[in-house]
Amino acid sequence: DFTNPSTPIEIDGVLYANIGSTRNVVALDATNGQVLWLWRPVEGDRFDEAPRKGPGRGVAFYDNGEKTRVLDVTPGYQLVSLDAKTGIPDPNFGVNGKVDLYEGLRNADDPRFAYPDIGLSAPPLVMNDVIIVGAAHRTGGRPRSKSNTKGDVRGFDVHTGKLLWTFHTI
């Protein structure tokens, strides 16, 4: 990829970032650049149809003293929770470490399209034990339909991935 707008974060000598057009998540030793682990989302058609595919802007980090997690939103609009030490998806979070962010969206069932016209390239925000995720349509354009999928802001439990609340945008 010729551009990567991701801003890595450094936690205890490890850099975490998303890289590449598929938004792989990587952990690097901050002193020598060695790859500690790499996680790659495999999304197939969901990636091909994504309105916000390409490099992401970064990842989020969660640490409660007992567990550490790296959080990201994939191009196919899935929230993923990875063990910060191993890069393995958290089996207690969503389904196999992922939450399908298409679920629960308003106006997301347009039969003309295989997937909703919504995604996100920004990292999620973590506050206390809540992951906050926004939404965005295609860059530089307008939604494919006047009854477009609504870009609500939602909060998810950092431990389970369960939806806690939704802020309905206008």
Q: What is the model's pLDDT at position 64?
A: 95
Query: Is pLDDT above 70 for 40?
Result: yes
Residue 141 vs residue 126, higher pLDDT = 126
Q: Please identify which residue in the block is written with the tokens 């998806």.
A: 89
Helix segments in 61-136, DSSP class H = none
Q: Which two tokens stand for residue 21?
A: 């057009």
Highest mean pLDDT among 24-38, 94-108, 126-140: 24-38
Question: How far from 107 is each of 39, 75, 110, 147, 152, CA to CA, in Å?
Answer: 31, 20, 7, 7, 11
Q: Please identify which residue in the block is written with the tokens 């640490």.
A: 63
Express as a percent the part of the chain with pLDDT over 70. Answer: 87
Query: Is pLDDT above 70 for 142?
Result: no
Q: Please identify which residue in the block is written with the tokens 């939404």.
A: 135
Q: What is the model's pLDDT at position 42?
A: 87
Residue 45 vs residue 71, higher pLDDT = 71
Residue 110 vs residue 57, higher pLDDT = 57
With a CB cutoff of 8 Å and minimum separation 6, the contacts of 35 are 26, 27, 28
Q: What is the model's pLDDT at position 153?
A: 92
* pLDDT tens per residue, range 102-140: 888 777 676 666 677 777 888 999 999 999 998 877 666
Strand partners, 59: none
Q: What is the model's pLDDT at position 146?
A: 63
**Where does residue 108 rank: exposed (0-12), middle (13-18), buried (19+ CB within 10 A)?**
middle
- Kindly report which listed range (17-21, 30-34, 61-65) carries the lowest average pLDDT score: 17-21
Residue 154 vs residue 43, higher pLDDT = 154
pLDDT average, residue stretch 19-39:
93
Express as a percent the part of the chain with pLDDT over 90. Answer: 54
Q: Return the beta strands (E) in the chain as ranges.
A: 9-11, 14-19, 24-29, 35-39, 60-63, 68-73, 78-83, 98-100, 125-127, 130-133, 153-157, 163-167
Q: What is the model's pLDDT at position 26?
A: 95
